[in-house]
Amino acid sequence: MPSRSLYNFRVLLAFCDEIGFHLAEDFYWFNPAKLPSPIEWVNKRKIRAKDSVNTVWWFSKTAFPKADVRKVLAPYSDRMKKLIEDPESFYTPKKRPSGHDISAGFGKDNGGAIPSNLLSIPNTDSNSSYLRLCKELGLERHPARFPSEIPAFFIKMLTDEEDVVLDIFGGSNTTGFTAEALKRKWLTFEMNLEYLASSVFRFLEGHSSETVKRVLGELNNSHANYFIGETVCALDPAKKAKSKDESLGQGALFISGAGAR
């Protein structure tokens, strides 16, 4: 059927009506590099336009979530830069039809523009240590990775350094890697052991291929808990991670980090 599943809308309503979350805002990730899909209805039968956005629901536990949009300001447009440089001569202050009063004060430099809820980010990563090591070791790359700019945007806007970031559908652990770089603590859950094991490649940039093979071998063969610096990889659901923080070991498949210092 070319018509769409309503599942995501039902999830949205159930999260709010049954669990009590608030919908703080809906975001749309526009991937300009996305190939036309679904193939059957877009390419073959030419019924639908191609899907180019993925929805990101931002849910909060309260009606006033912790957030600061100033942490994710977007670069100013060239027009705005000119206005900031010379607000007086750029144009005459006047009232717009929208009701916004565009005075000379509008030309104040706030360090960047308030971002839109349409995040335009291409998914074109081809150089990461993750991809390189997957190829070198003949392992399947995660088929649905997202670019680190997606978690980076929300981690910056919604958390501070040392806060904990959790991804319960971690895949190749883009979220944990990004959280680490942004000095957050993090936990990632993933049910596919192979995806979880190879996600450590993200943390092995600069290590020799012998080290990489040894780490992967130990993770896959003994299902050991493994430490890379402060990152704990616990791949055995039956074992508790013997980390400094015992509360991390919940008996699930997970990988976690303390945030780069």
Ligand X SMILES: C[S@@+](CC[C@H](N)C(=O)[O-])C[C@H]1O[C@@H](n2cnc3c(N)ncnc32)[C@H](O)[C@@H]1O
| Nearest distance in Å: CB 87, ligand X | 42
| Nearest distance in Å: CB 219, ligand X | 16
Q: Are 199 and 180 in contact (CB under 8 A)?
A: no
Q: Which is nearer to ligand X, 30 or 90 (CB)?
A: 30
| Nearest distance in Å: CB 58, ligand X | 16
Of 213, 210, 218, 214, the residue nearest 234 (C-alpha):
218
Q: Which is nearer to ligand X, 171 or 257 (CB)?
A: 171
Q: Which is nearer to ligand X, 9 or 169 (CB)?
A: 169
Q: CA-CA distance, 234 to 256, in Å (whole number)?
A: 8
CA-CA distances (angstroms) from residue 186 to 58, 70, 219?
Answer: 18, 23, 19
**Number of residues that make up the chain:** 261
| Nearest distance in Å: CB 112, ligand X | 26
Which residue is nearest to ligand X, using beta carbons? 171
Structure tokens that stand for 235 in this block? 């791949």
**Where does this chain bind ligand X (CB under 6 A)?**
142, 144-146, 169, 171-172, 174, 189-192, 195
Q: How many other C-beta atoms can be found within 10 angstroms of the C-beta atom of residue 88?
A: 9
Q: Which is nearer to ligand X, 29 or 195 (CB)?
A: 195
